[in-house]
Chain A
Amino acid sequence: MRIDFTHTQSAHCECGVTANLINHAVTAGEPKLSEALAFGLGQGIFFGYLPFIKVNELPLTTFRCPVGKIFKSVTRALGIRVKWQKFASVPKAMDALDRELEKGHPVGCRTGGYWLPYFPPALRFHFNMHNIVVIGKEGGNYIISDPVFPDVVECPAKDLALARFAKGALAPKGSMYRITGVPDKIDLKPALLTGLKGAAKSMVKTPVPFLGTRGIRFLGKCVERWPQKFGDEKAVLLLGQLIRMQEEIGTGGGGFRFMYSAFLQQAAGILDDPRLATMAEQMTASGDQWRRFAVKAARHCKGRATPDDSVSAMREVLNTCADIETRTFKEILSIAG
């Protein structure tokens, strides 16, 4: 049995799942939600450098909001009703999934990445922030629309059960969610304003120095000190981890900055506000700086750093990012405010 579900490949798992699920639920006449729109409406853009939280013994850096927030914010802003479930036991979780599928509902699931056999071997790490849509079951295999992959994939039931109950930080505990109802008319405009305002606030109005644009400056300060504080060997590992957080985990490039620019461009069209198009250009510039930073960091990892790639030069690049983003989000706040 397989539900007729339009699978659209996207850069980021949660945004892709959100957009695909909503597009499946709304009536055919409504405009389609793109991944970038889902990202913007979900207030996905963020920055945080949290050296006191360790991932594989290395500090956590995040370029996006906590997992689950995008789906929650988008559905709330658009007035879409959602059912969330969490489970204590594996058989119960799989039974509940089967029952929903039999009723013809595509189901979003949060999983770990390590146990999914269709993942490229090089990306099989323990991270529990992956989202997929289960759209059918044939024999012992589940049919999965994983938005990061070009096509629909299959996964044995045993592996999906393991992935849904992956352990470790932010364990998914079998979380699954589905859309139960959509309003007759979806009005994007107020939702866009809420989304813009919420994201801008979290970027420029944070009370702590390690989140938002202040966090970017804080990261720059730390990067400059790494070689002295930890020695070159560890500093290189820290830089490598930073590149992976920025680029590897389906960010669409430049730590989600390009995706957000795409959102701002679409928002400018929908709200008919050319100022937002200018903001999009600025965010693109910031994304380009982030990419420059990654190139410099990678040269350190390869042991081919030139004087141009010194830690203080990297701090400069990060400060430029912080400058651009502070200016942009303050303006967005005044536009959407």
Chain B
Amino acid sequence: MKLKDVPQDPGILDDYGREVCYAVDQNGNYSLAQSIGWDPKNVANKQAWQVIEKKINKARDDIRDGKLSPIGFYMACHQMDIKLLAQYMGLYCWQVRRHLKPAVFKKLKPGVLEKYAALFNVSVDELKTLPDKPVPPQK
């Protein structure tokens, strides 16, 4: 890659700075160049987020249809699957799978609910409801 070809397509990084790229000058010597992003990279990143969004929407629909407990929604927002969520909670996969059933969720002990709420960074009341917007990792 030549220095003049270092791409500057804004996208992922936004205001979070620039990233370093390696490129050659006219004499073929390497130097560091700052780049704000590259189109193919932005496309791939956007695609990854679309997949996550799809999962969130699917979880939302399932909750409305009474097939899934709200934990499923927060799990999708935090890009977790059952295995990862179980690791964070210190539970077995089958336990988390049970908690994802609305009937079981209703009967969960406050201690377990608090643990889920703390992990997802919401209150227990919020955990029992279904927000309109996906929640960010941190507030």
A167 CA / B83 CA spacing, docked (Å)? 10
A325 CA / B62 CA spacing, docked (Å)? 49
Say if the beta carbon of A262 comes within 8 Å of chain B.
yes
Q: Are B84 and A167 in contact (CB under 8 A)?
A: yes
Write the chain B residue with the least CB distance to A281. B28
Q: Are A121 and B1 in contact (CB under 8 A)?
A: no
Chain B residues, Cβ within 8 Å of A288: 1
The A-contacting residues of B in range 22-48, CB under 8 angstroms, are 22-24, 28-30, 32, 38-41, 43-45, 47-48
Q: Are B22 and A122 in contact (CB under 8 A)?
A: no
Say if the beta carbon of A61 comes within 8 Å of chain B.
no
Chain B interface mostly helix, strand, loop or mixed? mixed
Q: Are B22 and A243 in contact (CB under 8 A)?
A: no
What is the interface size of chain B, counting residues whose CB is below 8 A from a CB of the partner?
38
Chain B residues, Cβ within 8 Å of A298: 39-40, 43-44
Write the chain A residue with the least CB distance to B89. A167
Q: A126-B79, A244-B45, A287-B1 are in contact. Are A258 and B21 (CB under 8 A)?
A: yes
Stretch at the interface among B9-17, B68-76, B92-100: B9-17
Chain A residues, Cβ within 8 Å of B17: 149-151
A167 to chain B, nearest CB (A): 4
The residues of A with any CB-CB pair to B shorter than 8 Å are 9-11, 36, 56, 114-115, 117-126, 148-151, 159, 167-168, 171, 236-237, 240-241, 243-244, 247-248, 250, 252-254, 258-259, 261-262, 265, 280-281, 284, 287-288, 291, 294-295, 297-298, 301-302
The residues of B with any CB-CB pair to A shorter than 8 Å are 1, 11-14, 16-24, 28-30, 32, 38-41, 43-45, 47-49, 51, 78-80, 84, 87-88, 136-138
